[in-house]
Amino acid sequence: MVQQSGDASLLRRLNSAAILRILRAGDDVTLTELAKAAKVSRPTAEAIVEELLAEGWAEECEEELGDRQRGRPARRYRFRAAARHVVGIGIGGSTIRAMTADLKGNVVGSRSAGVPREVDAGERMAAVVKLVEESAADLGLTAGDLAAVGVGTTGVVDGEGRVVKSVRLRDWTGLELQAELRKALSAPLLVENDMRLAVLAEHWRGVAQECRDVVYLFTGNRLALGLLIDGVPYRGAHAASGELGEQPNGNWSAFGSVIAYAMAAEPGELRAPSDMAEFAFERARSGEPAAVEAVEQFALKLGEGLVTIVNPLDPEMVVIGGALARGGELLVGPIQAYLDRVCLYPPKVVASELGRESIVVGAVRLALNHADRTLFSVGL
């Protein structure tokens, strides 16, 4: 929202923000409804709406034919979501994803770019900048026209958007990622840990929309966690919440059963652990007993790891995300059965439906949160 001139009263700015919030939160409304909801006079509401129309933040709804046949109805207004746009970015090891949305979160575009895992930090950041610029150009905009850009990345990310530590990407540890990207992009830019964005995405648009306390387990060529506590992604004292680190029996001990099965079934094939798990899923779906047993043991190991988080945190839901969420009930069923047996208050276990988009969807929400704070600022 454009700030009022210096001689405008604080009350006027507060009323403008209140009316904009009402428009932003709901469907189309009349001036009378706006005035009542904002607790202002109708003339005040009308004057503010006229300003919002002129600034492009509101629009008048078109009359339908049936309305015209009944005579002139009250004019109705709504928030103009297309007034600004945001871009969310998910930085992966070999792929960078972008998603563009309007201010109501409606997705209007998406892009992706392959980036070799071995490239240095400079090349990877250049690819991010290019993807943001291309996403804006798809709408006839420049990057500077965007309301905000949200970026999700692996690694421990502090409150200033610095990657404190990363073991997956070259030259990433110690990178002032937020500051560096801001030098190249004139839009407001925020950087956050990818798992915190993934659980935020599940809460916003995924399977956890009705939950405020959630454990998100990312499964793929790494295992990681995202924690939602009272509706807010949990960062931890050192911004390292969700980073599992080196496990006592090795990071891949949970994959032991599916690795052993895949190597026995096709000994000449070399696969990543997650690929071996998906191979076992495929065979288990066809009913092969050894594959079913291997997958059940894999799920049990995941459940045993989860219970150390679930029992003390008491979440409403556990979301299985990442590439292996495609295992669906093959994973969810055994994990649910195990937690039902060992937890005082077992959470519901659900497979994510966002798939590989979870991080970039969370990045969009991060950008929208910033855009909303700016939009409703009254300059106090």
> What domains are defined for the chain?
10-82 (1.10.10.10), 84-199+359-375 (3.30.420.40), 209-353 (3.30.420.40)
Does the pLDDT at position 6 exceed 80? no
Output the 3-class SS for 33-71. HHHHHHCCCHHHHHHHHHHHHHHCCEEECCCCHHHHHCC
pLDDT of amino acid 117? 87
CA distance 127 to 97: 10
Does the pLDDT at position 251 exceed 70? no
Higher pLDDT, 379 or 309: 309
User: And the tokens for 80?
Assistant: 């103009």
Does the pLDDT at position 109 exceed 70? yes
Q: What type of residue is 146?
A: L
The pLDDT confidence band at residue 253, using thresholds 50, 70 and 90, is confident
> Where is mean pLDDT largest: 20-34, 191-205, 217-231?
191-205
> In angstroms, how far is the first alpha carbon of the chain from the final one?
14
Interstrand relation of 214-219 and 223-229 (parallel, antiparallel or unpaired): antiparallel
Does the pLDDT at position 321 exceed 90? yes
Contact 202, 208 (CB under 8 A): yes
Report the 10 Å Cβ neighbour count for 193: 27
pLDDT of amino acid 1? 53
pLDDT mean across residues, the chain: 90
* Residue 316 C-alpha from the chain's centroid: 19
pLDDT of amino acid 70? 55
CA distance 172 to 72: 62
Average pLDDT over residues 78-84: 95
State the number of CA atoms in the 13 A half-sphere of 56 facing the CB. Answer: 7
pLDDT of amino acid 124? 97
- Residue 183, exposed/middle/buried by CB under 10 A (0-12, 13-18, 19+)? exposed
Higher pLDDT, 251 or 190: 190
Contact 296, 288 (CB under 8 A): no
Average pLDDT over residues 289-297: 97
pLDDT tens track for 174-211? 999 999 999 999 999 999 999 999 999 999 999 999 99
CA distance 179 to 188: 11
CA distance 101 to 21: 19
Average pLDDT over residues 96-103: 97
Does the pLDDT at position 144 exceed 80? yes
Q: What type of residue is 365?
A: R
pLDDT of amino acid 11? 86
pLDDT tens track for 264-286? 999 888 788 899 999 999 999 99
Does the pLDDT at position 147 exceed 50? yes
pLDDT of amino acid 252? 60
Q: What percent of the chain has pLDDT over 90?
A: 77
Contact 355, 379 (CB under 8 A): no
Residue 88 φ then ψ, to 5°: -110, 140
In DSSP terms, 88 is beta-bridged to 99, 150
Helix ranges restricted to H, 58-120: 65-69
3-state secondary structure of 9: coil
3-state secondary structure of 77: strand
CA distance 139 to 152: 22
DSSP state, 28?
Answer: -
The pLDDT confidence band at residue 71, using thresholds 50, 70 and 90, is low
User: And the tokens for 19?
Assistant: 């009316």
pLDDT of amino acid 8? 52
The continuous run of DSSP H or E covering 200 comes out as helix 194-205
3-state secondary structure of 139: coil
Q: What percent of the chain has pLDDT over 70?
A: 92
pLDDT of amino acid 7? 47
**What is the maximum alpha-carbon separation in the chain?**
78
User: And the tokens for 186?
Assistant: 């004139």
Does the pLDDT at position 304 exceed 70? yes
Contact 347, 317 (CB under 8 A): yes
pLDDT of amino acid 378? 58
CA distance 289 to 283: 9
pLDDT of amino acid 69? 53
User: And the tokens for 310?
Assistant: 């679930």
